[in-house]
Amino acid sequence: MNLEKIKSEVVGCTKCGLCKTRKNAVPGKGSPKSDIVFVGEAPGGTEDERGEPFVGSAGKRLTEALEKNGLSRDSVYITNVVKCRPPGNRVPTEEERAMCMQYLEAELDAIGPKVVCVLGNTASSSVLGQADITKNRGKMVEKNGRKYFLTFHPAAVIYNQKLAAVFEGDIATLAKIVRGI
């Protein structure tokens, strides 16, 4: 399935209860030829308003880290495990994640990136079945023929200078790894 088709399915999706409270579904966005796909948790308030992923304060952090490493937002692809905002920004349930996973799989199949960058514990547990991001960040993992790189969620580093530096270092490492593949 191509990205336009996936996007139109996401926008009209009513598979889980989050469709009732969303303003806008938030499909992934970016280059269909990207070497890197970034996967977050779920849209927040700004994303729900605009129908675009990572356009609020966490998105600002991510964008800054990308640009410091010569990557523009348009040159990569950015998406989430769950495409509709959970009320009050709660963590998406197991059921919501399972219902939405087909879209992430389809996005990854359509793009075929060199590396999938998993942002934070919700994405890591959903995609890789491992949650300890503090221990596993900065590492590459292979699963079912795909390569993954793990780091913090950018929202987790906003008020913590130390974590912010680690996050930016991880994005620099990722950029270097991808250039070498």
Q: Which residues contact ligand SF4 (rule: CB under 6 A)?
A: 10, 13-16, 18-19, 25, 82-84, 96, 99-100
Q: What does the DSSP 8-state code read for residue 139? A: -
Give the contact letters, 10-49, x = binds to ligand URA (CB under 6 A), - = no: ------------------------------xxxxx--x--
> 15 and 99 in contact (C-beta within 8 Å)?
yes
Residue 36: what are its φ and ψ, rounded to 5°? -130, 135
How far are the Cα atoms of 118, 148, 149 from residue 142, in angstroms, in the given order?
Answer: 12, 6, 9
The reply on whether position 156 binds ligand URA by CB under 6 A is no
Considering the complex, state which of residue 30 and residue 53 has its C-beta at the smaller distance from ligand URA: 53
Give the range of 4-12, 14-22, 52-60, 109-117 binding ligand URA by CB under 6 A: 52-60
Angle at the Cα of 3 (from 30 to 170), degrees rounded to 5?
A: 40
d(CA 167, CA 181): 21
Residue 54 vs 167, nearer CB to ligand URA: 54
Work out how close the CB of 155 gets to ligand URA at its nearest, in angstroms, rounded to a whole number. Answer: 6
Nearest C-alpha neighbor of 41 from the set 106, 98, 122, 102: 122
Report, in Å, the least distance between residue 119 CB and ligand SF4. Answer: 17
Query: Residue 10 or residue 108: which is nearer to ligand SF4 going by CB?
Result: 10
Helix or strand (DSSP H, E) at 108: helix 94-111
* Contacting residues toward ligand URA, per CB under 6 A: 40-44, 47, 53-54, 56, 58-59, 80, 155
